[in-house]
Amino acid sequence: MELGIDIGGTNVKFGVVDGLEIIYKCEIPTGAKRQDTEIVADIITECKKILAKYDKIEKIGIGSPGGIDSENGVILGAANINFRNTPICKMITDATGIPARVGNDANCAVLGELYAGYGREYKNLILITLGTGVGGGIIIDGKPYLGTRGDAGEIGHMIINCDGEKCGCGQDGCLEAYASVTALIKQTKKAIEENPDCYMAKHAEKIGKVSGRTSFDSMRAGCPVGAKVVDSYLGYLAIGIKSIYQIFRPDAIVIGGAISNEGEYMTKPIIEKLGNKNVLVATSRLKNDIGIIGAAKC
């Protein structure tokens, strides 16, 4: 039995993993702007509570954004969380007596998909995670491929439109600038500005925000403006998926991240645009649990 900890910018998720199943789940706020010692202290408190309930836990696995030194159990630094050379594994093991490992969250997601998702059936699999950015993971011949320095799979920074949108990374026209949830929200806001009287504009006003769901929900309510945003967004995503297919000719391309809850509303149009039945295109079966399971197995 393992305790998987998925550290995010907003929440830290905990899951007790028995085999491939999560038998207990909870979460706490990250408080990402605080000192790293305070963040880890809260994580340790929660670990202790869970360990008191589940005495068969033999390992704690942690997934964190940012640069990770897995060998020494240190989070080197993360963009949105106040970690800086934080020896998180030693801190947790010292406090709990349980051995701990830490890995990069994108790499953990790949492990989750490998051990508990489509990776159980498909040997060559590419995972595309859509969120604030676009991440990726590569499974080759049933094993995660991490590259020589452990940082491979930056699928979001594949260039799909070399004369196009500036990406946060400095390059022009990255997939991330078109297919992240951040990009979808931007595309949705632009459509609302241009069509202030459409259903989507009113819907967004009513719920008080624009999210990654706004265009999908509006499309399902029959709004043509919402449908157009979704179609264009999935068009960009399909371009990235086409390139991935050409390079890897894999068995499966799996879409992860919260937006993958849209399920067939995403995959059906993408499969149509791809026009190729030699590859499975699907949303991850693990949904948001992928990070916990992956962390547990890291």
Site residues (CB under 8 A) for its own copies? 123-124, 136, 138, 140-141, 145, 147-149, 151-164, 171, 173, 236, 239, 242-243, 246-251, 278
Task: Tell me whether residue 14 or residue 178 sits nearer to its own copies (CB atom).
Answer: 178
Whole-Å CA distances, 154 to 99, 110, 191, 245: 30, 13, 29, 15
Task: Tell me whether residue 15 or residue 103 sits nearer to its own copies (CB atom).
Answer: 103
Whole-Å CA distances, 126 to 14, 59, 133, 200, 268: 26, 27, 16, 33, 18
Q: Cα(64)–Cα(112) distance, rounded to whole angstroms?
A: 14
Q: Cα(51)–Cα(47) distance, rounded to whole angstroms?
A: 6
Instruction: Give min distance, CB of 179 to its own copies, in A.
Output: 11
Instruction: Give min distance, CB of 144 to its own copies, in A.
Output: 11
Instruction: Give min distance, CB of 289 to its own copies, in A.
Output: 26
Query: Burial level of 293, CB count in 10 A (0-12/13-18/19+)?
Result: buried
Task: Tell me whether residue 55 or residue 278 sits nearer to its own copies (CB atom).
Answer: 278
Q: Cα(241)–Cα(271) distance, rounded to whole angstroms?
A: 10
Instruction: Give min distance, CB of 124 to its own copies, in A.
Output: 5
Task: Tell me whether residue 14 or residue 122 sits nearer to its own copies (CB atom).
Answer: 122
Token digits of residue 165: 């949108």
Instruction: Give min distance, CB of 295 to its own copies, in A.
Output: 22
* C-alpha dihedral, 225 to 230 to 235 to 236, nearest 10°: 110
Q: In this structure, are residues 203 and 214 in contact, taking their beta carbons and an 8 Å threshold?
A: yes
Beta bridge partners of 282: 254
Task: Tell me whether residue 60 or residue 109 sits nearer to its own copies (CB atom).
Answer: 109
Instruction: Give min distance, CB of 201 to its own copies, in A.
Output: 27
Task: Tell me whether residue 4 or residue 65 sits nearer to its own copies (CB atom).
Answer: 65
Task: Tell me whether residue 32 or residue 175 sits nearer to its own copies (CB atom).
Answer: 175
Taking Cα atoms as reference points, which of 227, 267, 3, 10 lies closest to residue 118?
267
Instruction: Give min distance, CB of 165 to its own copies, in A.
Output: 11
